A and B are shown apart, each in its own frame.
Chain A
Amino acid sequence: MNCAVHWEHVSKFYPVGPTGWRRVTAVEDITLSVPYGSVFGLIGPNRAGKTTLLKLLLSLTYPSAGQIYRLGRPAHDIHTLSRVGYMHENHAFPYYLTASEILYLYGGLTGLAGAELRRRVEEELRRVGLADRQHEAIRTYSKGMLQRLGLAQALLAEPELLVLDEPTEGLDLAGRQLLRQVVTAMRQQGKTVLMVSHTLAEIEQLCDRVAVLVAGRLAFTGTMAELQSNHLEYDTLEKKLMAIYEQRIAI
């Protein structure tokens, strides 16, 4: 599989109700590829299935149908996860640890050890601007600082594939700038970034390919330029996307 990520006819249904007989569709028959070296954006309205696709990719949940490939291997092979960094939208880090302890713990669980782990922890703390507060318990941290810590833990193992779920949520201007630098650097190194975001400015600025999901179905996939060439009657990306959403819902 010559893609960093490939979902092939993937569907995910969740049982609902006390008996579990009724099912709700999270995503249905999604076939989508994220090429190596690209910065790929997943966009769509709420409950479109974006986070479900990420969870399926990271083996946090399992598909009801279809196949998922991660870095050329089936997703059930957890070894490839050592080459993946994941930044969660609202991750609750253990409140009783300090920033450096969290990075040691998460790095250790990724397979890093000894001097290499120490070096990577120091580098990432410096990169995200938390080096001077690394020994403070994170319960004193602001939302933005926790997001920076989330970014640091995702980058710890120098991943080939970086998965970002709403990465700019809670970040200040400097934080957003840092995120852009990280994504740009990864693109320059030929690494792959997959991001889910509601912030269209970020998607427009960073992504070279996008997929639009609406109600669990794929509504559009292509380059940013192709997305912009849709619905020429509208002048902004926001209006174009709204038109795609409405078109898909009408179907």
Chain B
Amino acid sequence: MTALPLAIRTVRWMIWDTYRQSLASRLLWVMLGLTFLCTLLCLSLSVTGDEYSASHPFELPMYVPAAEAGEEVRAEGIRVVSGEVSLGFGLVRFPVGRSRADAVHWFQVWLAGVLADTVGVLLALLWTAAYLPQFLEPQSISVLLARPTPRWALLTGKYLGVVLFVGFHAFLFIFATWFSIGLKTGIWEVRYWFALPILLMNFSVFYAFSVMLAVCSRGVMVPLFGTLLFWVLCWAMNITRHTFLTLEAGEWSTLTPLLVEVGYWLLPKPLDGSGLFYEVLRAEGVAAPVPEWEAACARGAVVPELSVLSSLLFGLVVLVLAAWEFRRAEY
């Protein structure tokens, strides 16, 4: 048998092994449970009130919620919206800010951008951090390594297994929440689906770093806390870089902005990822962007394509380094 088919089979077996591991560790059920809760939340959503149809797709509608509308507003001919958003099957109620579609849009931005992209990705990184160290324990892996399987294929298979597992849950989350919101409100926002590749990209880049830490340390704690620290560091670097662009020249030595720029391009860019979310979900009408990102965008200093590519490249390089380290690791 040539090396490539065996490598492909190894990757396939490792993906299957990760699925079984997720079943045994009950992570599959925990994540399904969370998706179920979010779906329930979406099913509890109802939006009543006005429907606004703009004459132009980019028109900013002139209207205010009923609670904020005084006589002078009505006198000026501005449309007053009297709808209501209700969550938890009527437990929480608040007035519709602008139109029904905007209220649903705001809810989706909150679900995808805050809940899934921040809380979801962090939880997924935490919960899957132990998968690889368990697999790499000398007592577990020595018999596997004494087989004609390339080591890189074992590692890649395990990595892909976890990414596919998280990807499956991300798909399920997006589908279930999108479908239930559509069912309840009749608003089927297709842009919401753009959240799926961005979520997957963010997770896969940071999980590659977790894999490298697991290979180097062969323990659970280092990838667990190391990845969280790294996530914070990348946010800090991303914000710092965008902040530097708004500062006056001469406030710092010439070396500092250079180092920040190099750090920005080398590391993953979670703030830019979040900005990308903001753009693809067209959240400008319903949520405020991160000010540093907005300022950098205004100066033309954020190139979304390059930002995404360099983040993905970081993940790839780190994964190759992990495979290299694993190839020469002794057991």
Contacts and interface: CB of A to CB of B under 8 A. Distances in A.
Interface of A: 55, 58-62, 78-82, 84, 86, 88, 90-97, 101, 105-106, 108-111, 113, 150, 153, 163
Given A61-B331, A82-B148, 4 more contacts: A79-B148, A92-B139, A96-B25, A108-B13
22 contacts: A55-B330, A59-B145, A60-B142, A60-B146, A78-B150, A81-B147, A86-B142, A91-B139, A91-B140, A91-B142, A91-B143, A92-B139, A92-B140, A93-B140, A96-B23, A96-B24, A105-B13, A105-B17, A110-B147, A111-B1, A111-B9, A163-B146
Interface string B121-165: 000000000000000010110111111111000000000000000
B10 interface: yes
B148 A108 contact: no
B9 A113 contact: yes
Contacts of B9: 108-109, 111, 113
A111 B6 contact: yes
A111 B148 contact: yes
A94 B6 contact: no
Contacts of A101: 20
B21 interface: yes
A95 B13 CA distance: 16
B163 to A, nearest CB: 19
Main secondary structure of the interface of B (DSSP, over half): helix
Nearest to A139: B24
A183 B143 CA distance: 19
B168 to A, nearest CB: 18
Contacts of A150: 143
Nearest to A95: B24
Residue among B17, B21, B147 having the largest count of chain A Cβ atoms under 10 Å: B147
A62 B21 CA distance: 30
B21 A96 contact: yes
Contacts of B16: 105
Interface residues of B, number: 28
A35 B6 CA distance: 30
A59 B146 contact: yes
Nearest to B145: A60
Contacts of A91: 139-140, 142-143
Nearest to A61: B330
A197 B10 CA distance: 32
Given A55-B331, A60-B330, A96-B21, A106 B147 contact: yes
Contact of A94 (B10, B20, B330, B331): B20
| A-B interface, 4 closest residue pairs, ranked by CB to CB distance from nearest | A96-B24, A61-B330, A92-B139, A58-B146
B1 to A, nearest CB: 5
Interface of B: 1, 3, 6, 9-10, 13, 16-17, 20-21, 23-25, 137, 139-140, 142-150, 328, 330-331
A111 B5 CA distance: 9
A94 B146 contact: no
A110 B148 contact: yes
Contacts of A97: 17, 20
A109 B144 contact: yes
Contacts of A106: 143-144, 147
B139 A81 contact: no
B156 to A, nearest CB: 14
A78 B148 contact: yes
Contacts of A153: 143
Residue among B6, B143, B328 having the largest count of chain A Cβ atoms under 10 Å: B143
A94 B148 contact: no
Nearest to A82: B148
Contacts of A81: 146-148
Contacts of B3: 79
Contacts of B147: 81-82, 106, 109-110
Nearest to A84: B146
Nearest to B150: A78
Contacts of B142: 55, 58, 60, 86, 88, 91
Contacts of B10: 108-109
A67 to B, nearest CB: 17
Residue among A58, A59, A78, A81 having the largest count of chain B Cβ atoms under 10 Å: A78
Nearest to A97: B20
A150 B330 CA distance: 22
Given A55-B331, A82-B147, A109-B147, A94 B140 contact: yes
A97 B17 CA distance: 9
